[in-house]
Structure 1
Amino acid sequence: MASSEATNLKLAISTGDSRAFKALFDSYYPRLYRLAYHYLKSDVACEEVVSDVFIKLWNNRTKLVAIETLEFYLFRAVKNQALSYLKKEMKAVYSLYANSPSESNRIDYLEPDQMLIARELNTYLQKAIEELPERCRTIFRMVREDELTYKEVAQLLDVSPKTVENQMSIALKKLKLALDAYNQTTAPTQYISLFSALSLLEYMGS
């Protein structure tokens, strides 16, 4: 679905247009279902999760105008709902895991001064990510944050794997330029590579 079409549907739904809601549901349900299945591996659970997301969207339709990218919002909502479903179904397992001494006593490996630098760099990188073109930003987050493969992202966004690859290349080049600018403001001994920066994003997001 084109960005402009999604925006028009979003505005129509926010006014209570049920036909626009059905059009959005029909357009995105298959891809959202595939995303849910990536986490749940259960048809019943996937149907429940995706349906819940659409129900919540309709119940909060007056707030839709504040959502910048409806497509990314739906994908993130399904991911979060799927993870919540897993946590609910596996409560006993998660409880044991949380009470494990090795996890409950986990100590961050960064020293205080390193943590300060890490937080500053994380803020800088997040700003750079937000400045990426909309589709480029969505694909980058789905690959890096949601840990989906290029093929899975291509299926969900209804684009070719090559398009995903190209957009990821654009994102990484832009982030590399942003990181180069950041490194120029720090001492040479604090030079940070793109690989280290991306690893930091994963660490700070965990």
Structure 2
Amino acid sequence: MIDERALILSVKSGSEDSYKILYELWVSRLYRFVYHYVKSEVVTDDIVQETFLRIWNNRNSLDPDFSFKSYLFTISYRLLLKEIHRQLNNPVMAEFIDYQSELATAADEAERSLEFDHFLVALENAKKLLSPRQREIFEMNKELNIPILDIAKKLNIGEQVVRNQLSASLKLIRVELSGYLKFLLVFWVDF
């Protein structure tokens, strides 16, 4: 069995061999995750490669006590949101959306997918309204599924502070994403 913590420590100290091992461990899972949303091999390749490039370039900040999987998928998630946002602002995408809306029966599936894409962009915009600490706590708890106690330990703050910050961020997010309640219910049961 591979000791991921030891690999991360080794990567942090500059080991290219350990980096290659981590890459091989995670690249196929990350590729499937990204491809599921973008349905393009070229875009998926770009996002996956950019994710691993960022990990290498920021290897000094790797925390062996924090989930590498969470770190990896958070980076790719943010790159994925940027790509979706870029596609939504593309005039060709706007024409495609118009074309899809004309196809009543076939449009149902595309509409749900597009609505989810809009939700992801709206969520990212709503998170920009949070304070840096609120955003950090929100992402750790709601996106990375890190328990409140673990967040408090990681950030060296009290559990009640975490709860208060999370509560404040949830109130703002609920208001900003009120048009997307069905997605909020799916992602965060306690909304």
**Larger Rg computed on CA atoms:** 1
Normalised TM-score (structure 1):
0.45
| Structure with greater contact order relative to length (CA < 8 Å, sep ≥ 6) | 1
